Structure 1
Amino acid sequence: MDTLSSGPLPGEAKLRYLDADFEVIKPGRFVSCAVTKRKIALEDLRYWNVETQEAYFDAETALIRWKQLSGQE
């Protein structure tokens, strides 16, 4: 079963990313990675940037984006 397409809240959520948490603005099952565009189930979301309000699929992707933003790539 595809957990991203089942359940009562289909579609992409809209979040406000905070320092150690996030606030749901629009309910949904997932957000999209700002770099890879891959879907991230909300229960799996671990990496984001508060300043840019972006979600990242994993730590490696977050590091890639940090390097881009800081001019180190």
Structure 2
Amino acid sequence: TVEVGLRPVDAGTELTLVHSGWGEGAEAAEAIAMHEQGWSFFLDNLTSYLEGGADLRVGGPMGQRTPATV
């Protein structure tokens, strides 16, 4: 389950993201670690895009990607 919250703050908008429902054990721990890296990258990219328009993904935005760059 992924929950996203947005609320206004003095500096702009605060985004809260909670990804839950992993279960327990080694497989869950591995999945959590991989998703933490993924969410960190995509949230950094969102900040980069919103603050300056730079898309950090290889190949650019999804609409500009070709199968070779996905």
Report the TM-score, using the length of structure 1 for normalisation. 0.28
Q: Of Structure 1 and Structure 2, which has the larger fraction of its residues in strand?
A: 1
Q: Of Structure 1 and Structure 2, which has the larger fraction of its residues in helix?
A: 2
**Structure of greater Rg:** 2
Tell which has more relative contact order, 1 or 2 (C-alpha 8 A, sep 6+): 1
